[in-house]
């Protein structure tokens, strides 16, 4: 006859297998699935905290060093005829200098003509007439009697008379027996043949 005790639902043996221990809290330990190693924190490479809004920084690409600006070498520029700028000849340079000087004198003459034609409107005309011999001395005397701020220098007077009598229009009016006029436009003398030839060659 079988002498094993029959286990029933109310037996102490069945309760010991199913009932939790009174010494521990009523907490069930989660079971670890097979073939899965538990995750342990890595002390050397701890995980970086991630937030919802923060985006992971992009890894910058390899930046090549900035190229240095190109510096041309002018050491052999004088020997390189193709690179060097064409230089003007002495004759061309002299011609440009003369042209610039003439233009400067013409501009100064036009300015002086406005002044003297306004002061002596019957003497210095746009259509010139032969002026009296020694007109420069008459102008010097006239300028000495004026206020200092209104005077013209002797150099200015000589330069103006030089260009005035050297003009093409003045030489065309300079003929034998043509009347010469003073600062007030009065006829004072006639042009003689002896005066004509030197005057045509050089003014005054």
Q: How far is CA 111 from CA 124, 156, 159, 197, in A?
A: 13, 11, 12, 30
In a domain, 10, yes or no: no
Question: Closest by alpha carbon to 190, among 178, 174, 202?
Answer: 178
* Cα 175 versus chain centre, distance: 57
Name the residue range of residue 166's domain: 90-201
In a domain, 26, yes or no: no
Determine what percent of the chain is predicted with pLDDT higher than 90: 36
Indicate the SS3 state at residue 23.
coil
Question: Closest by alpha carbon to 143, among 110, 164, 112, 170?
Answer: 112
pLDDT per position as a tens digit, 6-45: 444 444 444 444 444 445 455 555 555 555 555 555 545 5
Question: Closest by alpha carbon to 57, among 68, 66, 48, 46?
Answer: 48
User: What's the domain count of the chain?
Assistant: 1
Copy the structure tokens of residue 134: 């020694």
In a domain, 40, yes or no: no
pLDDT-derived band at 87 (thresholds 50, 70, 90) equals: confident
Copy the structure tokens of residue 191: 């042009």
pLDDT per position as a tens digit, 115-156: 999 999 999 999 999 999 999 999 999 988 888 888 899 999
Q: How many CB atoms lie within 10 A of CB 161?
A: 19
The reported pLDDT for the residue numbered 136 is 94
Question: Closest by alpha carbon to 119, among 154, 146, 149, 137?
Answer: 146
In a domain, 19, yes or no: no
In a domain, 161, yes or no: yes
In a domain, 55, yes or no: no
**What's 140's domain CATH number?**
1.10.1710.10
The reported pLDDT for the residue numbered 91 is 87
In the chain, where do the E strands start and end? 179-181, 187-190
In a domain, 104, yes or no: yes
In a domain, 142, yes or no: yes
């Amino acid at each position: 006859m079988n002498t094993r005790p029959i286990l029933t639902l109310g037996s102490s043996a069945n309760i010991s297998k199913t009932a939790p221990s009174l010494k521990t809290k009523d907490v069930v330990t989660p079971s670890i699935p097979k073939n899965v190693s538990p995750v342990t924190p890595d002390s050397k490479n701890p995980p970086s905290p991630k937030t919802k809004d923060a985006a992971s920084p992009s890894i910058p690409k390899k930046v090549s060093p900035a190229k240095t600006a190109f510096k041309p070498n002018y050491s052999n520029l004088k020997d390189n005829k193709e690179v060097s700028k064409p230089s003007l000849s002495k004759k061309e340079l002299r011609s440009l200098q003369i042209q610039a000087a003439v233009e400067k004198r013409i501009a100064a003459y036009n300015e002086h003509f406005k002044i003297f034609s306004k002061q002596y409107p019957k003497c210095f005309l746009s259509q010139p007439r032969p002026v009296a011999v020694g007109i420069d001395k008459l102008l010097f005397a006239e300028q000495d009697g004026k206020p200092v701020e209104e005077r013209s220098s002797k150099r200015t007077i000589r330069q103006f008379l030089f260009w005035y009598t050297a003009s093409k229009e003045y030489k065309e009016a300079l003929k034998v027996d043509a009347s010469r006029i003073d600062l007030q436009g009065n006829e004072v003398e006639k042009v003689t043949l002896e005066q004509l030839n030197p005057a045509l060659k050089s003014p005054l």
